[in-house]
């Protein structure tokens, strides 16, 4: 990837071509973030197809919140795709540092640890964003345009796939951080997020399969 290029600025064909190349970036982390971004786009689309339609007026608050979340999520995840590529590039550069002397080995190890930590934090952020999107997708299932219900399910499945892919990238980088406390905290958070994400994804699929509308969400106290 050229230094001045951004992943978001590529056409779909160009991104696919770069992903298929022999270069290490963009890789699976960026791909996961892009897939998550598509889930956000679908959430926003279904929200727009539901707004200002009398049948779905009782669900306006849910729909408006979903629209905002979808727009924020798709843009944030595109930015994370860029950050993931940059983070891995720094880690790859650290691995190539000289290690002939003890001082060089120490410097290399410290750089690798810092780079690995960053390379784990970016995909963790992707998982967090996917959790937010799936929460909104689940809320919208049965409270939005029923003609676009399958789009919600696709969004749920994409967000789940993106989260699982990003989680794999988190886990593969953690050993290089060499910090047991950090690894434990991240792993615990990751497992909790994935559990919630998988539950919400299953709920979306079940509600879409069931068809029909459900009651509006209960207003949260201020």
Choose among 220, 57, 216: nearest CA to 140. Answer: 216
List domains and CATH numbers for the chain. Answer: 25-210 (1.20.120.680)
pLDDT at 212: 87
CB count in 10 Å sphere of residue 111: 16
Those residues whose C-beta lies under 8 Å from the C-beta of residue 150, and which sit 6 or more positions away, are 208
Cβ-contact 133, 126 below 8 angstroms: no
pTM for the predicted model, two decimal places: 0.93
pLDDT at 58: 96
Per-residue pLDDT band for 4 (boundaries 50, 70, 90) equals: very low
- The mean pLDDT of the chain is 94
Give the phi and the psi of residue 2 in degrees, each rounded to 5: -65, 145
Choose among 150, 155, 185: nearest CA to 170. Answer: 185
Cβ-contact 71, 120 below 8 angstroms: no
- CA distances in angstroms from 141 to 72, 157, 188, 203, listed in the order given: 19, 13, 29, 9
Question: Does residue 140 surpass a pLDDT of 50?
Answer: yes
Per-residue pLDDT band for 219 (boundaries 50, 70, 90) equals: low
pLDDT at 221: 38
């Amino acid at each position: 990837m050229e230094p001045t290029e951004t992943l978001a600025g590529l056409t779909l064909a160009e991104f696919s071509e770069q992903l298929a190349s022999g270069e290490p970036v963009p890789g699976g982390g960026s791909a996961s973030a892009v897939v998550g971004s598509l889930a956000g786009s679908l959430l926003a689309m279904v929200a727009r197809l539901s707004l200002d339609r009398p049948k779905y007026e009782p669900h306006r608050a849910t729909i408006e919140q979903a629209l905002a979340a979808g727009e924020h999520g798709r843009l944030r995840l595109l930015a994370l795709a860029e950050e993931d590529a940059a983070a891995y590039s720094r880690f790859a550069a650290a691995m190539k540092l000289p290690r002939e002397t003890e001082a060089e080995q120490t410097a290399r190890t410290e750089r690798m640890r810092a780079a690995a930590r960053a390379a784990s934090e970016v995909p963790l952020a992707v998982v967090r964003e996917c959790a937010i999107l799936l929460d909104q997708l689940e809320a919208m299932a049965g409270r939005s345009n029923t003609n676009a219900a399958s789009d919600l399910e696709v969004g749920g499945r994409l967000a789940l796939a993106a989260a699982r892919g990003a989680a794999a990238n988190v886990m593969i980088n953690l050993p290089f951080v060499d910090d047991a406390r950090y690894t434990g905290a991240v792993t615990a958070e990751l497992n909790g997020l994935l559990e919630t994400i998988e539950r919400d994804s299953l709920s979306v699929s079940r509600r879409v399969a069931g068809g029909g509308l459900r009651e509006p969400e209960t207003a949260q106290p201020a």
